[in-house]
Copies of this chain bind each other. A is one copy, B any other.
Amino acid sequence: MENLKDCFQKLKDSGLKVTPQRLAIVKILEGNTCHPSADKIYNEVKKKYPMISFATVYKTLKVLAEIGEIQQLKIVEKKVNFDPNTDPHNHFFCKKCREIRDVFPGKKINLKEIDGHLIEKYQVYFYGICSKCRKQN
């Protein structure tokens, strides 16, 4: 997500509307490096829109992901966390404080430590179309 204007333009370009609820959610996400869950976003936006429902939050987050303004992280069990930074970068999940921290590429990784974080394990997930399915098409 670049900025509010860009985000709203993309929404409009996709035939979607800029509602007060969406504005509030986008404002919470813009520049946010905390990787909030839907739950966190719901509680935050509730302060300004006490009537907002979980459904609206989820639907908005789905829409924002679809137009490429945010990305979903499946780093914590069961939950999805959201990141407005869609540039390539990695994530560190601390089992103690349970926070997700950004880890930017170009750093030395010795598979034991990165940015001072102690690495116990790591996972690399690729998403796309496998060689078999590419051939079938």
Residues of A at under 8 Å CB distance from B?
71, 73-75, 77-78, 80, 90-97, 99, 101, 103, 114-134
Which residues of the partner chain B approach A74 to less than 8 Å between Cβ atoms? 74-75, 77, 123
A-B contact pairs, 7 of them (CB 8 A): A77-B80, A94-B129, A94-B130, A114-B126, A118-B134, A121-B128, A123-B127
A81 to B129, CA, bound (A): 19
Which residues of the partner chain B approach A73 to less than 8 Å between Cβ atoms? 123, 125
| Chain copies in the assembled complex | 2
* Nearest B residue to A92, CB-CB: B126
Query: Given A131-B117, A134-B118 in contact, is the A124-B91 Cβ separation under 8 Å?
Result: yes
A123 B125 Cβ-Cβ under 8 A: yes
